[in-house]
Amino acid sequence: MIVKSKGIILGYMKYGDTSIITRVFTEENGYGSYIVNAIRSQKSKKSIGYFQPFSMLDMVLYVKETRDLQRISEFKNHHPLHHIHSDHTKSSITLFLAEVFSRLLQSEQSPNVQLFNFTMESIKVFDQLKVGVANFHLQFLLKVGPFLGYAIDDIDTLFSSADRTAPSSEEFQRIGSLMQEPYGTDIPMSRNSRNEILDAIINYYQHHAHISRPKSLDVLRSILN
């Protein structure tokens, strides 16, 4: 079956001599892995750069229900990104979020249009963001929960999954701002506060979504610190 769909790239790995397997969150099919044939060949007319994390593509998919691995036959940019892949801080945040989001999407094998639209709009905003860049990953992971069925109803719920005391009144206020305010809002916080909030978010998803600790977490912290 041929399916036309928008897709958000979450990473790839080399496959064979010239191909790749890419992880994609698609509007029409949900989350899955797809082969892209000959993209690494010297004769390929298109660059592997299309498959950087958070790239947004218009794709033609070959889907066969009896296969776990599907194929992308055609693709082009849906919305070109200008800063995410060239800005060192943004690219580090993108790699971290792509890893965590991939793990959270493991159960999203069916279309989730609201989640897809939220994610695509968030990426577009992040690409142009000038203020609050260092808090984007915190805001995204807090805001995306309801679309995945892991809504954080209140701040106490966020910390109930972690073996730690309740947040201070200042930290409580910061988390409330991260959850409620739009991306780009200037929410000042220290390195320690940002790390503690991120630990609480990761612990929450580890407890409720059973994801493992992100491998890119230490790299992200070294960049933001």
Backbone angles phi and psi of 181, in degrees to 5: -80, 150
d(CA 207, CA 80): 36
Work out the angle at residue 10's Cα, subtended by the Cα atoms of residues 28 and 178, and round it to the nearest 5 degrees: 95
Q: Please indicate, yes or no, whether the overall pTM of this predicted structure exceeds 0.85.
A: yes
Last residue of a domain, one of 14, 49, 77: 77
Nearest 5°: the CA angle 129, 145, 148 is: 120
- Residue tagged 């809504």 (tokens): 151
- Report the distance separating Cα 172 and Cα 169, nearest Å: 5
Instruction: Identify the band that residue 165 occupies on the pLDDT scale cut at 50, 70 and 90.
Output: low
Domain that holds residue 172: 88-224
When the pLDDT of each residue in the chain is averaged and rounded to a whole number, the result is 90
CA distance 203 to 24: 25
Same-domain check for residues 73 and 107? no
Q: 75: burial class by Cβ within 10 Å (0-12, 13-18, 19+)? A: buried
Q: Whose structure tokens read 């780009």?
A: 184
- Reported as a single tens digit per residue, the pLDDT across 170-198 is 778 888 899 999 999 999 988 888 998 99
Residue 56 within any structural domain of the chain: yes
What per-residue confidence (pLDDT) applies to 6?
Answer: 97
If asked whether residues 128 and 205 sit together in one domain, one would say yes
Pick from 141, 20, 24, 8: which is nearest to 78 by CA?
8
The domain spanning residue 34 has which CATH number? 2.40.50.140
* Cα distances (angstroms) measured from residue 110 to each of 27, 31, 113, 176, 221: 9, 7, 10, 31, 33
Q: Domain check: are 94 and 150 in the same one?
A: yes
Tell me if 126 sits within 8 A of 98, measured CB to CB: no
> Three-state DSSP class for 46?
coil
Does 82 map to a domain? no
Burial class (CB in 10 A: 0-12, 13-18, 19+), 4: exposed
Do 116 and 53 share a structural domain? no
Q: Considering 77, 105, 131, which residue would you say is the last residue of a domain? A: 77
Asked whether the predicted pLDDT for residue 114 surpasses 90, the reply is: yes
Residue 219 located in a structural domain: yes
Lowest mean pLDDT segment, chosen from 66-75, 102-111, 154-163, 194-203: 154-163
Looking at the structure of the chain, the number of domains it has is 2
* Residue 41 shares a structural domain with residue 104: no
| Same-domain pairing of 60 and 160 | no
Q: In terms of domains, do 73 and 100 share one?
A: no
